[in-house]
Each structure stands twice: as C-alpha cells, then as structure tokens.
Chains A and B, each alone.
Chain A
C-alpha cells in the first residue's frame, strides 16, 4: 500500500512538472503582454523599465526557471491588471467557485444516482424514459444555453430568483459563504442547477448502466432467492456494487466542473475563479492565466490521486490482498 502511494505521488509530481512547463511555454510563447501593460505612447525608457521589472528580457528557459522557483516558494507573481499578488487574487475568488462547484456536484449525485438506479431497475417504465430524456438533454445541450433558459424562466418571466451575483454572504473562518444566508442561497440555486445538469445526466447514465448490468447478475438473483426485498437489494447490494464507478466519476468530474464553472460564472456574474480567468484571457493577464492553469492541473492531479486511493478503499479486491 505504501509503495503504491509513493509510486502515485512520484507520478503526480512528474505530471505537474510537465504541465507547468507546457502551460508556461504555451501562455508565454504567444502575444506580447507589454502591449497590454503600457499605453502605446509610453516612452522607450518606461518600456525598457517595465520589461526588466517583469523579467521579460530574459530568455524563455530563464524565465521558466525563475517562475518555477517562485512557484515552489508560493509566489505566483503579480497580476498585470490588478497589480496584486496572483495567489492572493486567486484565493479571494476560490471560495465562491468551490461553493458553486460543490453544490452542483452534490446536487447531481444526490438526484442523479437515485434516478439512474430507478431507470436501470425499470428500464421500460415511462418514468425511466422521461429520466433518460432529461439525461439526453443534459448531455447535449450546451451549459450556457441552459443558463440562459434558467434566467429567462426563473428570473425574467417568473421573477422568483435573482439572475446574477452572489447575494449576501456570511464570513466563517475568514471566508465568505453564500449558503448560510437565505439571500445568498437564492443566488446560488440557479447557477448551481445550471452547472449540475451535465453532471446530473452523467450520474443518471452511470447509475442506470451499472444497475442494468448488476440486476442481471447471479448476485442479485441469489439475494432474491434468499427473500430480500427489492428495496433492500437496491439499497444495499446494487448501490454498493455501482458505487465504485460513481465515486471515481464523482472525483474526476469535480475537476471538470471547476472548469465548466467558467461558463456558468460568466452567465450568472458569479464572482469566482471562472470569471477571473475569462477576464484575464481577454486582458492577456499572463500571471493569472498561468497560475489558474497550474492550479487546475494541481487540482486534477490531486483528484486523480485521491480517486485511486478511494478505489483501493472501496473495492476490497484491490485493497488488502491476502486471503484470510
């Protein structure tokens, strides 16, 4: 188990190194940030001074080495646009995005798994067909369009929920949370729903496929032969059997949900990381872009690692190998 862990950690570190290099070269190879930093009529002296200040006169590998060194000491550089340390900027936006993402993934799992199990248990029923129709829509319709429709229906037409912003927040442990106030919660509902629909469709499909496959097995037939009720079979046997792929996807999708938050946050003016990265892209704010991408890569690598570990914990066949 320890060897497995060390091997995984080493692999994760290697991936991070490669990713950071790719991101750095990718972002720095294109465009000239000086054009963004300075007004076109700036003097040659100011130009040179600015270039030197941001280290832009150094060769690329030198810049990368400096960047990597700074990175390891927690220094992501300063935002060209906001003029503040990038790390501070990102940390100030992170809670909003985390809150949104968590709400979306939890909603998708708590709603999607039961629906999917039902659809897999009674595949011919009208309810199952309706559930599958929802999942087809959730899968194929782009997130931004669903967001528009949600705003159109619930904000413009019905006037039930606010169309944007984060609403009132409560500070807990120095971090602002929307979930803790009614107003904040009302602001959270639409963006969270918007962000969760794709994952909901995914969870439904996974749970349905797993249930269909499981229901035909001897394990379920044997449980039935022992007189277990269908409810007990679904709740204990089936749920446990399909939980492995679901936990895997839950973890993996958490990362991609962070990425999809870019779209949702833009539509609902949610002041999170996604909106920050879109703003940074349009203003060519390199340090913020690089830091964001490295952070996302880090999140992905960490999640992959955790999923591997959870896998080992959930599936007894992979964990403690020795027979009793």
Chain B
C-alpha cells in the first residue's frame, strides 16, 4: 500500500494532524451539504413552510412547526440550520464549477502557449500577466454587474477572474519541462504534438495545477460570498451563504447577531479547511522544502 504513489502521498499527508483534521472537516461539510434535502429540518425554499411568527427568533427557539430551531431563524422565519445547509450546497457548487472551468480553460491556454511558444506564448501570457496584475475581485464585480444575476453568469464572472492563475501555473511548469532535452528530442521525431502535450507536458503540470485548484476553489467560494454579500452574485431565489450573511447584517446592530454569524462560521470553516488542505498538498509537492 505504502509503495504506490498515492500510498506514499497519504503517508506523508498523515504526518500533519492539522491537515488531516482539515481534510476531515472538508469531507464532513461536503457530505452534509450534499445530504441537505434529507437531513435539513425544513426546506427553506418552500414558502409554504415559512411563518413570519417564527422570524428572527434566537437559537433554541421552538417554532410553530413544533421543532427546535437550533441556530435560530432569519428575517423570513426560515430555520437557519436548514438555510445554512442549503447555502453550503450552493456555495460548494459555485466553487467547484468555477474552479473546474477555470482549470480547464486556464490549463489549456497555458499548455498551448508553452507548446507553441513564439508569438502565441507572447500574446497569451501578456494578457494573462496583465490580468493577474489586476485584482480579481474588481473584475468579478464588474462582470457580474454587467452580466446580471444568475448561476451561469456568476460562474462566468468567477472563471474570467480566475483562469489566469491556472494559465500562468500551467505555462510555467510546462515551459520548464518543454526546455528539457527529452522533449526537444521528441519534437524532432515524427511524434504527434498531441502526444507530446498529453504524455509529457500535461502530467508534469498536474501537481502545481492541483495545488492552485484547491486554493482557487476556496477563493471562488469566498469571492462568490463577497459578491452575493454586495448584492451582485446570485438571485434571491438561490440564497448562498453570502446572501444569508448580508440579510442578517441589518439586524446585527440590534443584537440579533446569529442571523449573520452562523452562516459566516460555516463559510469560514469551509474556506479555512480547504486552504489548510491546499497548504499541505503544496508543501508536499514542493521539493525545496524536503530534507
């Protein structure tokens, strides 16, 4: 078991208790979010379930439906625990979708630039670098304002803001590999370009891309929450964590802190856990830190 690459990777990963806990937290949160329709006390989208008599009640309140709202209720009388579970679902969905598309587009561009070199690389990487020097949040902000609200629009905005990180990473790793003698030799033989790209360049760019992808999924979730908090992300019919927090913000001054705080805690735990996992994976892929 320990002799397979995965086994070795896991054995090294296990050496950091913090990273193991973080991974467990990520798995637990994703499982809870996936199981939301079955485990949540209430379907927060079903307006028939909501009663204004239950609105803004503190944690532990027993509502008109007869069960306990462990985390309280929000301004519409929604059970906060249910809203958070469903909100996590949306946040994770957005993060994964944005991360996957950004990875596919960015890595393709980076590989293309590294493989073709010359003016293709010059133009692609010039645009990528220009965009990297520009804050992602501003780009996402303007794009989501221009595109309007909706899941597809939001993912588009997130991908546009994030693909450049993947492109830069893939280009860096692939062009370092490209310069090695064996690729030069392979390019001189009648081997197809596709073979060079997929058999040699792609596998070598995967480790750094995995690291960037982990961090960027967390960033996408944070960015989505920020946009939703500012009222620019998802429509009201898709209440992600950011929107739950924004909705609770106005009640915070009057001491009803739970409406913002609990969704916030769920969001933070998820993001920090993903980042910790990413940190560990990066350290393991980084040969410079090894003794």
Contacts and interface: CB of A to CB of B under 8 A. Distances in A.
Interface of A: 15, 26-27, 30-31, 136-137, 139-145, 148-149, 151-152, 156, 163, 252, 255-256, 259-260, 262-263, 266-267, 277-278, 281-282, 289, 293, 296-297, 300, 304
Contacts of A149: 264
Contacts of B133: 252, 255, 300, 304
Q: Is the interface of A mostly helix, strand, loop or mixed?
A: helix
A148 B245 contact: yes
B135 A263 contact: no
A266 B245 CA distance: 14
Given A30-B147, A148-B245, A148-B260, 4 more contacts: A31-B146, A137-B272, A144-B229, A145-B245
Contacts of A297: 134
B228 to A, nearest CB: 10
Which of B147, B226, B274 counts the most A-chain CB atoms under 10 A from its CB? Answer: B226
A148 B264 contact: yes
B138 A296 contact: yes
B253 A163 contact: yes
B245 A282 contact: no
Given A142-B271, A145-B264, A145-B268, A27 B225 contact: no
Nearest to B225: A142
Nearest to A213: B288
Contacts of B142: 26-27, 281, 289, 293
A156 B253 contact: yes
Interface residues of B, number: 38
Q: Please name the 8 residue pairs, one residue from A and one from B, whose CB atoms are nearest each other, closest first.
A: A259-B135, A281-B145, A256-B135, A140-B275, A259-B138, A30-B146, A142-B222, A144-B229
Given A30-B146, A140-B275, A262 B249 contact: no
A151 B252 contact: yes
A141 B268 contact: yes
A136 B276 contact: yes
B135 A26 contact: no
B102 to A, nearest CB: 18
B111 interface: no
Contacts of B138: 259, 262, 293, 296
B170 interface: no
Contact of B141 (A156, A281, A300): A281
A260 B137 contact: yes
B249 A278 contact: no
B275 A136 contact: yes
Nearest to B264: A145
A300 B268 contact: no
A216 to B, nearest CB: 11
Given A137-B272, A141-B268, A142-B267, A282 B231 contact: yes
